Amino acid sequence: MTAEPAQKDLSKTAYDHLWMHFTRMSSYENSPVPTIVKGEGTYVWDDKGRKYLDGLAGLFVVQAGHGREELAEAAAKQAKELAFFPVWSYAHPKAVELAERLANYAPGDLNKVFFSTGGGEAVETAWKLAKQYFKLTGKPTKYKVISRAVAYHGTPQGALSITGLPGLKAPFEPLVPGTHKAPNTNIYRAPSFLAGPDGTVDPEAYGRWCADEIEVAILNEGPETVAAVFVEPVQNAGGCFPPPPGYFQRLREICDRHDVLLVSDEVICAFGRLGTMFGADKFGYQPDMITCAKGMTSGYSPIGATIISDRLAEPFYKGDNTFLHGYTFGGHPVSSAVALANLDIFEREGLNQHVLDNESKFLATLNKLRDLPIVGDVRGNGYFYGIELVKDKVTKESFNDDEVERVLYGFLSKALFDNGLYCRADDRGDPVVQLAPPLISDQSTFDEIEQILRTSLTDAWAKI
């Protein structure tokens, strides 16, 4: 007889059958798999009844917090009425309503919405659309993409090619050709030649240099071959790199000068993570496309979207031109209904304004950790911060591979979780701890995060 699920050892079953994403599966051969069974507000609970502060909003996703019954009810209501129908040559009301709403939120003339089921698919959509757009407008040699070092843009073959993390790409090469990298905006690791006589780097000058390096990449490849630049408002991988002042304005000028599309990858930064519906709003620039996903439904149902300017859509709306691309579950009725209900919560509860009102308090609380010898930098924006860990605060010396394995993975990740904080300790780039709690978080949340980090980082330093 097959055991009932409640009687099974979920950890053993998970190891035997659930291939977890981005996971070193051998770690769980003789250790229990953490199994989360419940969420409420800013907290989650495991199958042993232990409570954890969700310091990463699941995966930069659960904007409105866990346990929102109205989102579950919106899903159930829609499933009873129309559980599924594709948007392949057909429409259904919730997809239409959501597309209109996203277009109204988006800056400028970004009025066309192409749905997918996640962020990587949205990025894939944007690159394919850019290539076909230039073919339809008589510039078929424009197909390449410029993105930034250490940036993560997704796991599909195209999105992974745009990603700037060699370690994530190596197992799957050869990938899609035509992607090239430029420096990111990590001013903490700015090249020494940009520093003034006092050793500091001027943020505006640094921003100009970073943007100009993208132009150098465009010129090196030949503007006639470059279709798009993909950038995040605040770069995730490497630990939350915000843009220097004037960076995006200069980048917009460069893209216009060379007829290159500017794609704002907002899979993380959209829907309140920075205190605005879109990160482009926070930093005052106009992209040609926005890719988004995660927070659109607060994670209660999967959905993604690429929001496209009228100018780019125009040739596809003529004659027999067709964008031969799509996803079975893109614009899913249930996901669309949940997204609309989630956006209702945003407006009713003023979640964006809540983030704007509290982001400086969050940063100030995290900055208290700068007194620890292991903390080199604290950076980010909105409710999205990274804490870079160093071996020497003066020289900014980072950890070697053995120390990363022993301290970051072997100790810190588990210690944070054991101490009651779910977040990310990562070394994609330099070692960082990333924090992105639900948007409902307040000072009590920030204080709890700081206290757990202080204990865990102090213990980690003792093991170096």
CA distance 215 to 317: 31
**Cα dihedral 240, 242, 247, 253 sign:** positive
DSSP bridge pairs for 231: 264
Q: Judge if 253 and 327 occupy the same domain.
A: yes
Contacts of 396 (CB under 8 A, 6+ apart): 188, 189, 376, 390
In a domain, 383, yes or no: yes
Q: Judge if 53 and 74 occupy the same domain.
A: no
Contacts 24+ apart (CB under 8 A), 82-88: 82/333, 83/333, 83/334, 84/329, 84/332, 84/333, 84/334, 85/333, 86/326, 86/328, 86/330, 86/331, 87/115, 87/326, 87/330, 87/331, 88/326
In a domain, 158, yes or no: yes
Average pLDDT per 10 consecutive residues for the chain, totaling 464 residues: 57 91 90 94 96 98 98 98 97 98 98 98 98 98 98 97 96 96 97 92 97 98 98 97 98 98 98 98 98 98 98 98 98 98 98 98 98 98 97 93 86 94 86 97 98 97 88
DSSP bridge pairs for 262: 229
Q: Judge if 302 and 427 occupy the same domain.
A: no
> Is residue 365 within 8 Å of residue 443, measured between CB atoms?
yes
At which of 292, 317, 349 does a domain end? 349
At which of 286, 316, 349 does a domain end? 349
Q: Judge if 246 and 373 occupy the same domain.
A: no
Range of the domain at 299: 70-349
CA distance 210 to 243: 9
> What's the CATH code of the domain at 279?
3.40.640.10
Q: Judge if 112 and 242 occupy the same domain.
A: yes
In a domain, 144, yes or no: yes
In a domain, 367, yes or no: yes
Q: Residue 408 has what pLDDT?
A: 86
Q: Judge if 109 and 35 occupy the same domain.
A: no
In a domain, 4, yes or no: no
Q: Residue 401 has what pLDDT?
A: 86
> Is residue 221 within 8 Å of residue 145, measured between CB atoms?
no
Contacts of 414 (CB under 8 A, 6+ apart): none
Quote the radius of gyration of the chain (alpha carbons, Å): 22
pTM: 0.96
Q: Judge if 338 and 354 occupy the same domain.
A: no
Q: Judge if 215 and 234 occupy the same domain.
A: yes
- Transcribe 88-111 into DSSP letters: SS---HHHHHHHHHHHHHSSTTEE
Q: Judge if 420 and 387 occupy the same domain.
A: yes
Q: Judge if 153 and 234 occupy the same domain.
A: yes
> What's the CATH code of the domain at 17?
3.90.1150.10
In a domain, 2, yes or no: no
Q: Residue 1 has what pLDDT?
A: 38
| Closest alpha carbon to 458 in 366, 373, 367, 362 | 373
Q: Which strands make up the sheet holding 424-426, listed edge to edge?
A: 375-381, 384-389, 432-435, 424-426
At which of 349, 365, 391 does a domain end? 349
CA distance 172 to 169: 6
Looking at residue 186, what DSSP letter applies?
-
In a domain, 1, yes or no: no
Q: Which amino acid is at 347?
A: E
Q: Judge if 326 and 356 occupy the same domain.
A: no
Q: Residue 6 has what pLDDT?
A: 52
Q: Residue 429 has what pLDDT?
A: 75
Q: Residue 464 has what pLDDT?
A: 81
Q: Judge if 57 and 145 occupy the same domain.
A: no
Q: Residue 36 has what pLDDT?
A: 95
Burial of 49 (0-12, 13-18, 19+ CB in 10 A): exposed
Provide the number of structural domains found in the chain: 2
| Cα first-last separation, the chain | 51
